Amino acid sequence: QVQLVESGGGLVQAGGSLRLSCAASGRTFSRYAMGWFRQAPGKEREFVAGISWSGVGTYADSVKGRVTISRDNAKNTVYLQMNSLKPEDTAFYYCAAKARGPSDYSNPAEYDYWGQGTQVTVSS
């Protein structure tokens, strides 16, 4: 059983920045591939970014160039730095984990564990 807890969400104006954090339990965190997804009301869950256990990042086209995913294995934490935020980035953001590297980082079904999410609201 792995527990994931997101934090760092909030209200920000368009063009601003936020850094989301996902704190994970377990001593094997460094072996997990991690991902960030988001879901707006009435919309399907959308892939944002993923990172391998070795630290290689993968990004959705919609956020590429504005978002950076990183991890600190010593702190059992993965981060999502978001810059140049747009109103369409408004969503509930979820952290996810997979014990073995996903075949497709963008597929929610590849992940084994999910956090409770944190709200990001971008005002115009």
- The residues pairing with 34 across neighbouring beta strands, listed in sequence order, are 51, 97
Number of Cβ within a 10 Å radius of residue 106: 16
Secondary structure (3-state) at 39? strand
| Residue 46 one-letter amino acid | E
> Burial code of 66-86, b = ≥16 C-beta within 10 A, e = fewer?
ebbbebeeeebbbbbebeebe
Element containing residue 34 per DSSP (H, E): strand 33-39
Tens of each residue's pLDDT in the chain, 124 residues: 789 999 999 999 999 999 999 999 977 788 899 999 999 999 999 999 999 988 999 999 999 999 999 999 899 999 999 999 999 999 999 999 998 878 899 999 999 999 999 999 999 9
Task: Answer for the pair 57, 35: CB distance below 8 angstroms, yes or no.
Answer: no
